[in-house]
Structure 1
């Protein structure tokens, strides 16, 4: 069931998105080995520290919901030639000196830099040659990458967000996207965080003007309806 924020005087003005496949892009955020797989990066680090249970919720949600539902959306986007962008986060230099101080220590501890396995996207995503992978060195892609230029070049107006973490890189990128004029939709059951509380709190604030929130089933149904409408109008 899709999370619903309490109705208030602000959320009633939240902009909905058209989800026209011709002007929509699927944005998959940080589904990487660094923080998205229990056997690598963060998961390996916590396991070595005897604290893997601290991230049990995170990795279970990624395995059970985030990855499967992202793959469903990705399959639809590929079949219908809808734009898709993969975001990564991590250092682009060997000494991690390009990262902000508050993020450097975590990236260093999880070996999250270009050239390391941890920095790679999950194999199950099977990134295609025509799909764009964009690295960022800040939580928001709009702060430290050419994503805005690329989206405008693609003619994109609306963005569908999946990935991790809901309250960090997903939220940071989404907020900036909305401020730049893009329509934003967050897929509740295709995003995840370290706890349900973190996830829900992010949705609670984002649904107040910044984005709409839907389930994977709802999004796929709306996309199918758009394709059907376009076919009937042709």
Structure 2
């Protein structure tokens, strides 16, 4: 059987499950959600200025940056263009705090380590990357949690917009994307994750998390498969 979204990313729980049908995604009930693709995650120092230990850390993150610049950002930008032309709702979330000292952050974002983020909402690091910037009156939500549903009024907004199907893209696959997907699924939203429009700190983490969430919390597919299913680019704007 050729590889497609219907037989990829199968965990042991769903190894023998029947192939799902193509989803029915009415434009007016479907939203594209871009999660946390912010300047802070794409900034890098000059490698030559780093110590050997810092260079090793830099090199470990190079595949992530290559994936973001060569695949995730351009494919998400292309999908945004098609979604906008078709009249689909496009929403954005980002991590940012309301205060300059970050006292409003959640506990997980105050704990020591990689996830210790101080991103005041008006600072350049907290802004969405220019290639994926919201356009017109598209909605951007600010959170200090992993789940966009838990940390914002996204739930109410989706309800008011009449959305039942959410297409998720962004970073990090195993953190904010996964947390948002699980929250949406628990509230009976139909969720699709676009595997080529997401990234984790490593390819291993990315693929393992997709295997974990696929078939139970969402359906995982490529942006090309979604475009074909929805006939994006082949229909006039309603």
Give TM-score, length-normalised by structure 1: 0.85
Q: How many residues align?
A: 227
CA shift for structure 1 position 109: 6.5
Tell me the distance in 2 between the aligned counterparts of 1:160 and 1:198: 20
CA shift for structure 1 position 38: 3.2
Change (3 A) 1:22 1:141: same
Moved more, 147-156 or 83-92: 83-92
Contact 2:61 2:201 in 1 (8 A): yes
Aligned mate of 2:173, from 166, 169, 183? 166
Matched, 1:90 2:125: no
Cα-to-partner distance string for 1:7-45 (whole Å, 9 max, x where unaligned): 65547377964222111000000110111x1338xx99x
Change (3 A) 1:26 1:47: farther
> 1:26 aligns to what?
32
> 2:10 aligns to what?
6
3-state DSSP of counterpart to 2:150? helix
CA shift for structure 1 position 126: 3.4
What are the residue-to-residue correspondences of 1:117-128 with 2, within 5 Å? Answer: 117-128=124-135
Aligned mate of 1:218, from 209, 225, 229? 225
Change (3 A) 1:16 1:7: farther
Matched, 1:195 2:202: yes
Tell me the distance in 1 between the aligned counterparts of 2:205 and 2:98: 28
Contact 1:2 1:189 in 2 (8 A): no
Cα-to-partner distance string for 1:41-95 (whole Å, 9 max, x where unaligned): xx99x96844321211111111111101111110011101100101101222111
> 1:39 aligns to what?
44
Higher helix share: 1
Aligned mate of 2:193, from 169, 186, 189? 186
Tell me the distance in 1 between the aligned counterparts of 2:138 and 2:28: 16
CA shift for structure 1 position 155: 0.3
CA shift for structure 1 position 6: 2.9
Give TM-score, length-normalised by structure 2: 0.84
Tell me the distance in 2 between the aligned counterparts of 1:109 and 1:102: 7
Cα-to-partner distance string for 1:139-158 (whole Å, 9 max, x where unaligned): 00111100000001000010
3-state DSSP of counterpart to 1:96? coil
> 1:62 aligns to what?
68
Change (3 A) 1:141 1:126: closer
Cα-to-partner distance string for 1:136-186 (whole Å, 9 max, x where unaligned): 110001111000000010000101011100000000001000101100000
Is there any run of 5+ residues in structure 1 with no aligned partner, and where? none
What are the residue-to-residue correspondences of 1:107-122 with 2, within 5 Å? Answer: 111-122=118-129
CA shift for structure 1 position 111: 4.6
Tell me the distance in 1 between the aligned counterparts of 2:22 and 2:145: 27
